[in-house]
Amino acid sequence: MRHALATAVVLLALATPARAEPDAYYAVQIKQFLVCDGEMAKGCEQFVSTAFKQALAIFRRAAKDGHTGAQNNLAMLYESGAGVALDRAAARRWYTLAAEAGEPMARYNLAMLLATAHILQQSNRPQYRDEDLATAYMWLSLAAKDGLESAIDGKSELANFLTPEQIEAGEQMLRARY
């Protein structure tokens, strides 16, 4: 439950309107949504020390080379405004690339990006509410299938905000993938 609360606080912070890049406190909180193994460790260290431009260079280079963890991390920089201008559309594109390639954390982060924008009524795509929420449910379900604990916990929490029709649409998307 404590993990869910920390996750909710960070997601709410990320979903707030444009603000200055994260401070050290939020950088440490956000790190749990990054992929920090292997070659991404150095970029994550830079991120946590708020050397966002250095983290950006590391993540961008590897993301362009197809590293799914780096794509996730680059998306998080765009979503949080760390080292780059806040750009949720760019975050969505990078998360989607990594999620489609099977990166569990990107699947989780994409689901949260889609869902929180609508749940907090901050989406610039209100006409896509049902589709985005169903898609968020699908990505969260896939991340849960991947064994990502935060997705397993978050799936039932997200379902509390969805209509039965949105859940069914998400389930249909899942069935279409398999």
pLDDT in tens, 105-137: 999 999 999 999 888 888 888 899 999 999 999
Structural domain harbouring 67: 2-177
Q: And the tokens for 126?
A: 């209100």
pLDDT tens digits, 74-101: 999 999 999 999 999 999 999 999 999 9
Residue 19: band (very low, low, confident or very high) from pLDDT cuts 50, 70, 90: low
**This prediction's pTM:** 0.87
pLDDT for residue 1 is more than 80: no
CA torsion 88-90-91-92 (nearest 10°) is: 90
- Specify the CATH number for the domain of residue 157: 1.25.40.10
For 81, the token pair is 């405004």
Of the chain, the percentage scoring pLDDT greater than 90 comes to 77
What's the Cα-to-Cα distance from 31 to each of 27, 41, 120, 173, rounded to whole Å? 6, 11, 23, 29
- Provide the number of structural domains found in the chain: 1
Q: Could you tell me the end-to-end alpha-carbon distance of the chain, in angstroms, rounded to an integer?
A: 31
34 φ/ψ angles, rounded to the nearest 5 degrees: -100, 160
Structure tokens given for 20: 């200055």
Mean pLDDT of the chain: 89
User: Which residue do the tokens 């606080």 mark?
Assistant: 9
Q: Which residues contact 127 (CB under 8 A, 6 or more apart)?
A: none
Amino acid at 113: L
